[in-house]
Amino acid sequence: MEDSKLLQQTDDEMIDQAFKELLDSYLATKHRKKVEIITKAFNFAREAHKGVKRRSGEPYIMHPIAVARIVCEDIGLGSTSICAALLHDVVEDTDYTVEDIENLFNPKIAQIVDGLTKISGGIFGDRASAQAENFKKLLLTMSDDIRVILIKIADRLHNMRTLGSMLPTKQFKIAGETLYIYAPLANRLGLNKIKTELEDLSFKYEHPEEYLQIQKKLENTQMARVAVFEEFTSPIKAQLDKMGLRYQILARVKSPYSIWNKMQTKHISFNEIYDILAVRIIFTPKYPDDEINECFSIYASLSKIYKPHPERLRDWITHPKANGYQALHVTLMSNRGQWIEVQIRSERMNDVAEQGFAAHWKYKEGGGSEDEGELEKWLKTIKEILDDPQPDAIDFLDTIKLNLFASEIFVFTPKGEIKTMPQNCTALDFAFSIHTFLGSHCIGAKVNHKLVPLSHKLQSGDQVEILTSKSQFVQPSWINFATTAKAKAKILAILKREERTLQQRGEEEVADFFRSENLEYSSQNIKKLCRYHMLDSVEKLYSAVARKDIVLGESDKNVVLEKPSSQGWKKYITFGFRSNKSQKKEEDEEKPVAQTSDIDIKKVLHISTDDKNKNYVVADCCKPIPGDDVLGFIDDNNQVVIHKRQCPVATKLKSSFGNRLLAVEWESDQDLYFPVNLYIKGIDHIGLLNKITQVISQQLNVNIHKLTIESKDGIFEGRVQLLVHDVSDVKVLSTNLFKISEVKVVTRIENFDDKPEN
């Protein structure tokens, strides 16, 4: 009894201290000091969650307090958002309703709590696409009040900070969903600091070993970076002092996730990444209206000290990013012969860079906000996509992500108006961005007064005029070169609408055929026609008939009546032509390599659930081998597919089918061999092939299954397929191949013919 009282007292002290720290943070801001309503919200939430503990063992109220603190400190929102953050789980987890919140507080707080409740329930539900459907709800609530998504991001950040107490399966799911959805959302809303932390925390749980390795390397190289920073910034400080500026110079170190991501995409080592250190200059402008000119004045002064890279000037001041980011990025050559990026920002620009739009939102009493240009456009685009809901929630997620991840370019209308578009967008995307009618009837475009096709990719600074015709309609091929979420969504919606009309017409024509031939119009007879024409659905049959791809006649009548002649002809077709799938299967069976699908994967897997009786197979998309960080996914055939955790397919599965994931790990087994492909590149030299084969076959006694080497202009490229036990074999191989002086690149590739990105 005494122990429980002591424990309760300790908990109360911890809660009181956490709330005091939240209030101190709030009082340090420039917001109006509405301490009374925040205290009321805290006391209400504390009472509502009384006696409830989190999985970590701490009182549940500590979570809402932590979320409110992130909302206040990291995002910069005021009392309404802090109250909503404190109350965000009350309606979902207790008997209180949204009406209770409205009566006790105010309609705005109740509306935000309601929005948070709608997107919270069922995120770990049983339905396959629960997370994707949930993401739709999340985006819908953004149009009501953007603070809903900001508080949700804060909620996700605290969940990620405390993810260690969750089961491994939940960790993979939540980390995958965070990397796939929430980090890009935070980035799009300008929350750079939060985006970076979400990425790093996801990386930490998905690839713990790699995370620790990079952290250790950053610690080991810290002293060297400090020396470079001091030497590089010393003359810069002297020049800024001479200009009479108030400023601070900070070192910006690349995040572990960004480093790892670059290592993966560029196939380089930690030591080959040269932009780990960047320099940030944050200054107080002498005159607020003159901050842009002062940025360029600082740049001009720096270019007198160090030589700037002519192609790496990034002017985000004149043309801010869609998330509000403004800065001048220049890359300078240091005295050590190293390129170093310098980011020049005013204090205001720095606030926007760290806190996004929240840094300059001023919410009026009774709701409403200042018009925020690009953000409003973005929200409007998402609302338009949501107006045409797609049946496949995974497709929906991919479509939205096109917008979230896109880098931006700036193009001009014929009247000189500037439009922000995603990088790699086409003339067709531009047409749909202006109006759906314009996109639907687009026949081409004039870019800088020259005629170009719809698929033409736009560049920053292009002036674009869209050409239309009333006789033009949306074509199925357009989906192949549309890149923006809006264009893809509109094209698919129009095509589906047209397809439905076509199917209705085809269905009527099929019914007419059955009537005219006195045949029974039944689903069984329709299926006979589908099999005869080798179509896998009734809808495809109706469409083909409406398009006149299939003209129903005597042979179709015979098929329905099951006459022998038609059966014989059908058998002949089936026998005479084999599908690509069966052909590929036969080709695969001819290969003498021990395929991973032939191996009993359960022998080398530690399975943390009771699903050991299922069939386990290795995913073809990423071909993991023992030692790779992996997870299991229960597919539609109830078999468990083993994917690498960083595999793009696995990333999509984590964010959309989280409830079907399994935590699995490799166990050592030196009896089994797995095929692996290596890509090798370097300086061509006589006897090089002999050196490579000696290292692999003689020194390491590894079986080479396939080897190709090509040489051009003194550079060789090679690919080798080997049979290994695990990842450690690959590391030993790579280390020893690097000892050959001519070899400059050794990297693992998924398929033998793949070529790594440069």
Q: Which residues are catalytic?
A: 92-93
Q: Does residue 277 contact residue 342 with C-beta atoms inside 8 Å? A: no
> Could you tell me the two tokens for 356?
């996004």
Q: Does residue 367 contact residue 145 with C-beta atoms inside 8 Å? A: yes
Q: Does residue 366 contact residue 202 with C-beta atoms inside 8 Å? A: no
Q: Which residue has the tokens 């450690």?
A: 728
Residue 151: exposed, middle, or buried by beta-carbon count in 10 A (0-12, 13-18, 19+)? buried
Nearest CA among 302, 253, 306 for reference residue 275:
253
Evaluate the CA torsion angle 610, 616, 622, 624 in order and state its sign: positive
The Cα 400–Cα 181 span in angstroms is 9
DSSP string over 295-355: HHHHHHHHHHHSEEPTT--EETTTS--TT----EEEEEE-TTS-EEEEEEEEHHHHHHHHH
How many of the other CB atoms lie within 10 Å of CB of 741?
Answer: 10
Length of the chain counted residue by residue: 758
Q: First-to-last CA distance in the chain?
A: 66
Nearest CA among 680, 682, 690, 640 for reference residue 660:
640
Q: Which residue has the tokens 């006897």?
A: 687
Half-sphere exposure of 499 (CA within 13 A, CB side): 12
Q: Which element (helix H / strand E) includes 283?
A: strand 277-284
Collapsing DSSP states into helix, strand and coil, what is residue 509?
helix
Question: 7: which DSSP letter?
Answer: H
DSSP string over 640-695: EEEEETT-HHHHHHHHH-GGGEE-EEE---TT--EEEEEEEEEE--TTHHHHHHII
Phi, psi of 723 (to 5 degrees): -110, 120
Nearest CA among 651, 661, 660 for reference residue 178:
651
Question: 119: which DSSP letter?
Answer: T
The Cα 538–Cα 188 span in angstroms is 42
The Cα 406–Cα 423 span in angstroms is 6
Collapsing DSSP states into helix, strand and coil, what is residue 447?
strand
Nearest CA among 41, 229, 243 for reference residue 151:
41
The Cα 199–Cα 185 span in angstroms is 12
